[in-house]
Structures are given as C-alpha cells and as structure tokens.
Amino acid sequence: MSMDKYCKQPILMTPLEALQRVYEVDGLQKKIESVQESQTWRDVYYWSMECNRVIQNNQSVLRQLYQECVQMRQLNYFTNKLFASPQSFKELFNRAGLINDVNAERNVLIAFALSVPLVLDEINQDRQIQMSYQEFVEALARVAEKYGQNKAVISSEQLALKLQHIIGQLQEYYQIVDENKIIIPQMRQSKKQTNFLQENVTKLLYEIDGSPINAPQIYEYDFVE
C-alpha cells in the first residue's frame, strides 16, 4: 500500500520513506494505538461473572453451535483434529443472516483472529486458523460486542447482554434445543414399589453403620410437569 501510494509517479520515494509517510502522516500509528489489546479486553470485559453466567447457562447450545461450525469447515485440511476455520466461522453467521448492515463481515473475521493464539511461523504452522471450542466462545463474545448500531461496550454487563442476544439469534436459526432445560418426567411408582425401595434403603443403611433409624422416608410421587 505504501509503495502504491508514494513510490509511483509523480511522487518518487524509497519503500522505507513511503512506509514512514503512511505510518506518521496518514495516521496509521494512531490507528494501531487505538486498537485494544486482546488480553486487556479479556481482563476488563470478557472474564467477568456476568459473561461467565451467560456462558454456563448456554453451555449445551454453545457446544452444538461449535459442532455446526466444525461441520461447515471444508475438508481440505490434512488433519483429523476438530476445529473451526475462519471460513466456517464466517459462514455460521452468514447463513443465519447475521452478516448485515449492523454486523460487517470484517468484524467476524477480526473476532476470529483476536481469539486464536498468535503464531510466529505462519508458513509452516496453521494453528492460527484452527479455532478450539474455548476460542469459539470468545470469538462469539467479540462479535457480539460489535453487533448492532451501538458498537461501544462500556461494561461487562453490556457485553453479557449482547452475548446472550447473539446466542439466541443463532440458536433460533439453527433450531438448537438446550439439552440442559429438557425436563424428563419421573415414573409413577406404586405403593408396593415405594415399600420395596424403603426396605432396601433401610437395609443398605443398616449394612453401612448398623443404624437404620435415620433412614429417609420415600413417598409416592406423580409425574413432574
């Protein structure tokens, strides 16, 4: 970019001078300084009780979303490891219609890049394009931060609310059922079965400490709504 702008006619500069001009005069230095460090963002906003509560409450949904993302990955990587790629992460949002006027494709790819570890040798290693589950959750939070008209997140509470919103949008599109919220009805037990359980619990306690007096009472119960 520097050479295209300053090293061609009618302006003639050396590549070093052109890079220095872009860095100092064109404002590249200020742009770089304005970008928040990845670890600072984690410490201030992401690693909080509010975000942790959202992640824990949606653990089942998040894991299913990650599996969806992994399945979208093109099978052109010579490895058996499960991971999400930049293309599959972008496609996860694209299919759900969440790459739009309030969420640019650039924000999704930047979120991916900031969530995976840096690799010094990107030619001989490809870890920078292999996203694990923990990194996937962080990337979702980074996308949620920039989603919507208001891009500024000034508290961890706001980030948690936006993360919950983006998870809900993806869950609705991919029709994911939260396994943790499925209530399995208990079986109806007859009086005879109840007495049988009571006798066996009492017998078990007697075998453990020889005192069946404090054995818990088991009552009949119906289906749980």
CB 135 within 8 A of CB 116: yes
pLDDT at 223: 36
What single DSSP character describes residue 123? T
pLDDT at 66: 95
pLDDT at 141: 95
CB 88 within 8 A of CB 131: no
pLDDT at 21: 78
pTM of the model: 0.67
CB 107 within 8 A of CB 143: yes
**pLDDT tens-digit map of 99-120:** 998 898 999 999 999 999 888 7
Residue 208 structure tokens: 């453990």
**pLDDT tens-digit map of 157-188:** 999 999 999 999 999 999 998 776 654 444 44
CB 115 within 8 A of CB 138: yes
pLDDT at 224: 40
Spell out the alpha helix ranges (H) of the chain. Answer: 2-6, 15-24, 28-34, 38-41, 49-57, 59-72, 86-95, 105-115, 133-146, 156-174, 191-209
Domain ranges of the chain: 2-32, 36-181, 184-225
pLDDT at 132: 94
Residues in the chain where the model's pLDDT stays below 70: 1-13, 29, 31-36, 74-80, 151-153, 180-225
